Every structure is written in structure tokens, then in C-alpha cells.
Amino acid sequence: MRGVQLTALSELPGVSYVMPVLNEEGYLESAVRTILAQDYAGEKQIVLALGPSSDRTDEIAAMLAAEDRRVSLVPNPERDIPIGLNLAIAASVHPVIVRVDAHSELTPDYTTRGIEALRREGAANVGGVMRAAGRTPVQRAIAAGYNSPYGLGGGAYHGDGTPGPAESAYLGIFRREAVDAVGGYDPIIRRGEDWELNLRIRQAGGLIWFEPALGVTYWPRASYKDLSKQFFATGAWRAVLTTRHPGETPWRFYMPGTLVLGLKLSLIVLVLQLVGLLPLSGGWAWFSLAYLAPVAYLAAVLFACTRLPGLHGPRERLLGLWALITMHLSWGTGFLYGVIGGAGRTVDKSRM
């Protein structure tokens, strides 16, 4: 890995948007059309890396490519996101690379503002704010969890915040020189690939810049089952990244795993006390302190669900409560799985 050396950026550099796609028939067309509708006056190119979808995704992608010559397609038979991103980048031609997601919709000024920030700050990558949204009651509840610091731990791009250097960026508007300098996305890291790439860019001397004026609408998973699958995989790969880079890992990433350990310990104590193997008197009574974990968590999550943005009334709050619990426990369980045995071939099965 060589150091990041950035040349002067032209007034209207060409932009390549890269998007990995798998089973996204409900979101792909809208995501691509928001890219084509960008108010940016420079050249634009969209490269879709198509995994082996089992729905109408490929048909929709082919239709979009036939309609507009700026849309091109590359196969991604391995289906993994970082591999698809690398394939799309290799097929792209412009000096600015914008990572986009089929579940994301860019505001019209996203590219213009992002390139202004790249030039103004001399940054290697610029990212903005993820604003999760939902169409159904459950998806809106999940989106509220995304938009709350109680759901995802308060990363800068989940709130409006103030502009400044950041550890990572949501999606990202990259200088190609920076991506090339560090060798692109690590094909082994199947979740958390953005954080890992931005870490290597920072280590090579590049600046990651948070620009809250950049807005992206994100459509999260629409069911608790899919949310659980997604967060389990994310937790497992976060454990791998934590093992690789312990000194770079914020403390908040350890919290879900610690929570799950505390809940498991309280359950073990309960079972042992019920069968009489752990007396309730004498020195053994100290083990009952393990019950503080579920009691404290219940109190904390009940408080958090009253602070979820955009939710009103008992039913919506209850849906939000379940979204928070699903996020915390799925992520924490995946994290412990990754600590014990590594993530292996763990992938986000909600996309399959």
C-alpha cells in the first residue's frame, strides 16, 4: 500500500457511480433514476455489478442500460459486495468514484456538493448523512432505529452533526487515486467493507471528510427477520475487523456483544438456581447480581423507544422497541460468533 497522493481536481471531473446489486427489483430503478437526475453538469457513468439474482433485478438493470448509454452492467457471480464494487470500479473510467446502494436515493445536489467538499478540503473521500425511511409500519420502525443513536451507536453519518474529519463515511465520494493507492476494497471483508477501506485510506495519509449537507435516503430491511440476518452478519464481520484493528475500534462496537454475554449469564444463573445447583443463600447469592443485566437493559431500551424519531403512539413505539432489540441482540450474537470462530463465509442472507 502506497501513500495517498492527490492531484488537483478539475472544475467538472467525470463521475463514476458504482453499485453492487442482488435481488433488488423493488429498489433498483428508483436508485438509478435518482443518480441520472443529479444536477451535476459533468460527465456521469453508472456501473451496476449484478450478482446472481433470483427476481427481476437483471431484467430491470438491462432495461435501464438500454434506455441510457451512461448505464453499464458487469457480472458479479461471487455476489459479495466488495468483489462487486471492485469489478464496477475496474469497469469505470472517471476520476471520481461515488459508491451507491440499491437501497439508497441521492438528493439532487449530492454529487455537486460532494465534489465541492472534495476540492475544498483536499479529501480522499467525502460522505454525508444516512436518513433511513420506511414505507410500511415495520420498515418505518426499523428506520427509526437507524436514525437513532440508540439503534446504531451514534456514528456521525446517522445524525446531522458538524462537518469535519471522520473515521468512515456512508457510501462515499472517492478520489480514484485514493482507492487505487490502497488497492480497493478487501474482497475478504463481506460486511464493514466501507469502514475497512476508509481505515486504510486514513493510514495512507488520506482525509475522510463528513459533510452533513450531503443527504441520502436509505430504505432499510422491511422485516424483523431480514433485519436480524443483516445485523448478525454485520456483527460477525465487525468482530473480524476488531481482531485485526483493535486500536482503531471505537468502544461502542463492543457494547452489543457485552450485552448478549450479560443476558446469557443471567439466563445460566436462573437455570442453575431453578434446578437447585446454585443456592440462593450464603456466598452463592452474589450470583443473583447477574439479573441486573436484563433489568438494566429493559429499562434502557424502554427509555430509548420513547426517543425514537418519527414514531407516535403505543403501537409504533412497540414496533420500534422490537426493532431496537432485534438490532442489538442480532448484532451482539453475530459479534460473539465472529470472536469465537471468525466470520468465515458469513454473508447477509437477507439479500438472498
pLDDT > 90? residue 246:
no
Give the model's confidence band at 341: pLDDT under 50 very low, under 70 low, under 90 confident, else very high: confident
Structural domains of the chain, ranges and CATH numbers in brackets = 15-220 (3.90.550.10), 246-351 (no CATH)
Cβ–Cβ < 8 Å for 204, 3? yes
Q: Cα–Cα distance between 316 and 310 in angstroms, integer?
A: 9
**Segment 309-331 mean pLDDT:** 95
Quote the cell numbers at residue 121.
478540503
What is the tens place of the pLDDT at every residue in 248-260? 888 888 999 999 9
Weakest-pLDDT range from 3-7, 165-169, 312-316: 3-7
What is the tens place of the pLDDT at every residue in 58-83? 999 999 999 999 999 999 998 899 99
Cβ–Cβ < 8 Å for 208, 170? no
**Segment 15-36 mean pLDDT:** 95
What torsion do the CA atoms of 220, 222, 226, 232 make, to the nearest 10 degrees? 40
pLDDT for the residue 178 = 96
Cβ–Cβ < 8 Å for 74, 48? yes
Give the model's confidence band at 159: pLDDT under 50 very low, under 70 low, under 90 confident, else very high: low
pLDDT for the residue 52 = 95
pTM over 0.95: no
pLDDT for the residue 252 = 85
Tell me if residue 114 falls in helix, strand or coil: helix
pLDDT > 90? residue 106:
yes
CA atoms within 13 A on the CB side of 23: 11
pLDDT for the residue 259 = 95
pLDDT for the residue 4 = 87
Q: What is the DSSP letter of 254?
A: G
Cβ–Cβ < 8 Å for 321, 249? no
Q: Cα–Cα distance between 132 and 310 in angstroms, integer?
A: 11
- Residue 71: closest CA among 95, 44, 96, 93: 44
- Amino acid at the residue 204: A
What is the tens place of the pLDDT at every residue in 204-233? 999 999 999 998 999 999 999 999 999 999
pLDDT for the residue 283 = 74
Cα 177–Cα 183–Cα 187 angle in degrees, nearest 5: 135
Cβ–Cβ < 8 Å for 326, 231? yes
Within a 10 A sphere around the Cβ of 261, how many other Cβ atoms? 14
Quote the cell numbers at residue 165.
474529519
Q: What is the mean pLDDT of the chain?
A: 92
Give the model's confidence band at 157: pLDDT under 50 very low, under 70 low, under 90 confident, else very high: low
Burial of 52 (0-12, 13-18, 19+ CB in 10 A): middle
Give the model's confidence band at 294: pLDDT under 50 very low, under 70 low, under 90 confident, else very high: very high
Q: How far from chain centre, in Å, is Cα 22?
A: 16
Helix boundaries (H) for the chain: 28-36, 57-67, 81-91, 110-121, 137-146, 149-152, 176-182, 193-203, 224-244, 255-274, 292-305, 313-341
